[in-house]
Structure 1
Amino acid sequence: MPTSATWDQEIVAGVQTFVQRYITGNAQNLEESDHYPEEIVSQLKNMGLYGAAIPHEYGGIALSVPTYAKVMEELAYGWTTLNCFINGHSSASSILAQHGTEHQKKTYLPRMATGELRVAIALTEPNGGSDLQAIRTQAIRNEQGGYTLKGAKIFITNGARAGAVLVLARTAADKGGISLFMVEKGLPGFSVGPDARAMGHRHVDVTELMFDDVRLSPDSLVSGVEGQGLKQMLDALETGRIAMAATAVGLSRSALKAARDYAAQRVAFGTEIIHHQAIQILLADMATQTAAAQALVQVAANTKESGQRSDMVSGMAKLFAGETCAKVALDCVRIHGGSGFVRDFPAERYYREAPYYILTEGTNEIQKMIIAKRMLKGDAETLGL
């Protein structure tokens, strides 16, 4: 029986092999294709990655947070769309594994572990993004003892292809009265809007979800207790932010490699441009910032895994890795010159995808507010600051 450390190493090595064999050199074709990458998604399922956050007893592979972060980095090094297929589902899995009733765990987690059931998370609304306490979607108690769900959510990643959705809804008028519900597709009144026309991640469906008096059973309430939704969600978002930061690191590594490879081939003024000092300075900054982001992600992941409060350091990782990703992607375009502005080169795609890691899982401006708040409470001392 392999040790936990050996098992984690084998998982990461398997992901690296998968990326090298099926993604490297093919990501551009996958991105440009008109066909949804079903075969690639099937391989993610076969590797067990849909069960990354699910305990072994429910069929998952129960990765540690540092290993999960490394897996997300390696996937993103190949093609960041892969991460979009996995991350929200893993957050939903984590919520159910930690807070679901035993009935909910037995009903959903085994199917989620295999990827048979994919689950999205529905938080954002037309009038509110990062301010989750301002949500308007309501779950009102009905005469059968269940709930009637009314409202709408927007920008829901995998909202069209998911078989169920975790929906954050208000169950009482006060700010504390917010709960999570497991809502399966096919219920009367549950409809899916058209896909958003996003800058990147062409094959990831980002949709609006409408709930027009959707009747839910009492069993749909996560944990079976009202008013716990924000706490349940924020706990999972810490790991989600670490995963987003790790994804940004993977994209930064890809952009750095593309820039280095192009500079080693492109000749100007009689020599490859990688020998020009201006290019070397750009590459040095790109490499240093990527390495620093990578290290901070692992600090955040280790902190979360240890059970310590990690909202500040996960916010730091997401903030720094996201901003680094945006800068490295832009510098990659600069090194490519005019070639970086055309879709034949991956630099153009990296530049379009990079803002995603500044804007999602809580904008980087929100991360700064979280970091400052926790610093004022003394949390910076835990990092030796």
Structure 2
Amino acid sequence: MADSTADGVERRLPTDEARELLALVRDIARREIAPHAAEEEAAGRFPRELFALLSRSGLLGLPYDPEYGGGGQPYEVYLQVLEELAAARLTVGLGASVHTLSCHALAGFGTDEQRAAHLPAMLGGGLLGAYCLSEPSAGSDAAALRTRAVREADGDWVIDGTKAWITHGGIADFCTVMARTGGPGARGITAFLVPGDAPGLSAAPPERKMGMKGSPTAQLHFDGVRVADDRRLGAEGQGFAIALDALDSGRLGIAACAVGLARAALDEAVSYARERRQFGRPIADFQGLRFLLADMATQVEAGRALYLEAARLRDEGRAFGRCAAMAKLFCTDAAMRVTTDAVQVLGGYGYTADFPVERYLREAKMLQIVEGTNQIQRVVIARHLVGPESR
């Protein structure tokens, strides 16, 4: 089943329900997101009320089990929803992806009792999540994290440490936190579900970023945060495996957001090229610019094809980690190229805040870094090809 987008491209969707869902998302994006994006990003405002709307609309739990309030949608559909949200405003698309990532540990590794107790509110109750893995001294080397959880005599856990680069830091209602409960290395890490208002949990001032100013990114400080054992997710020492499992899926979310951002830049460039006249005719008539636009469009379409291939592997229950790393690498690099070229198409106007492409360029850079830098993606891909590095 095909679905025509605004630019005439036919997309394959698996069901009528999926087609209707994407139409709903495009309507929300057109009416509620895009008109306010430039103003709110310039002011550094996070659209919390919009996320409440997305939650009520069932768009923050799409890939999860309907039994717990999820949408029961395959990743093939969920990722195309993220692309639409990100095309309207990256803060929204990325925020939805991070929220989904924050629910992954509970949905995939929690007990039935834990899922019944917490997941409905997380998926459709207006809550917003944060995913807490990175630390000031443990970014790409996440297994070196130092935040520690110590079990007390009464069975509760007490968490101390600092997490860094946390999307929704300071505003999240719940946090999925990886903390060290054992010895050094990956096997000593355990996952916990921590309430956002837990005593002892505080946020540093948001980072001052070059882009994504409407999306708060902050360090989170855990100072004697007490968590009951029934908020431990999975077995002790399983946390790093849970984190990696989540990141494979999360990288697909970043890839889809990157394609949405690149598509927005392409659309702006095409529109400008059709309207801007030089030497008595539209600049879209000049072959050099036409070739540039053609290359930009090819990057967008290739990126979408790659993330959808990874999504379909995931939906079929097949190994998709290598393809997910490729999708994250290619799509985010493509977003950087396409947004850079969009600025070039607009010339001097592209360098001003009067047009959105300069913002798209600043936002694209971030996508090459989050949820595993693109250098890390190359490491992952190479390991699949030729095995781990010699020691």
TM-score by length of 2: 0.92
- Which stretch shows the higher mean deviation, 324-333 or 72-81? 72-81
Match of 1:360 among 367, 370, 384: 370
* Aligned residue runs from structure 1 range 84-103, under 5 A: 84-103=94-113
Structure 2 vs 1, CA of residues 303 and 196 (structure 1 numbering), >3 Å: closer, same or farther?
same
Shift of 1:37: 2.5
Shift of 1:178: 0.8
* Aligned residue runs from structure 1 range 1-385, under 5 A: 5-33=15-43, 35-175=45-185, 176-223=187-234, 225-377=235-387
Q: Which amino acid aligns with 2:62?
A: A
Shift of 1:317: 0.4
Residues 168-207 of structure 1: CA distance to partner in whole angstroms, max 9, x if unpaired? 1111113211111111133332111111111222221111
Kept in 2, the 8 Å contact 1:80–1:251? The answer is: yes
Residue correspondences, number: 375
Kept in 1, the 8 Å contact 2:79–2:252? The answer is: yes
Shift of 1:314: 0.2
RMSD, aligned CA: 1.7
Structure 2 vs 1, CA of residues 367 and 158 (structure 1 numbering), >3 Å: closer, same or farther?
same
- The 3-state SS of whatever aligns with 1:57 is helix
Kept in 2, the 8 Å contact 1:53–1:93? The answer is: no
- The 3-state SS of whatever aligns with 2:63 is coil
Unaligned runs of 5+ in 2: 1-12
Kept in 1, the 8 Å contact 2:313–2:320? The answer is: yes
Kept in 2, the 8 Å contact 1:179–1:227? The answer is: yes
Aligned to 1:382: none
Shift of 1:35: 4.7
Q: Which amino acid aligns with 1:103?
A: E
Shift of 1:109: 0.5
Structure 2 vs 1, CA of residues 34 and 148 (structure 1 numbering), >3 Å: closer, same or farther?
closer
Query: How far apart, CA to CA, are the structure 2 residues paired with 1:200 and 1:189?
Result: 30
TM-score by length of 1: 0.93
Residues 276-329 of structure 1: CA distance to partner in whole angstroms, max 9, x if unpaired? 111111111101111111111110111111111111100000000000000000
The percentage of aligned residue pairs carrying the same residue is 38
Shift of 1:64: 0.8
- The 3-state SS of whatever aligns with 1:161 is coil
Shift of 1:4: 7.3
Kept in 2, the 8 Å contact 1:84–1:157? The answer is: no
Unaligned runs of 5+ in 1: 379-385
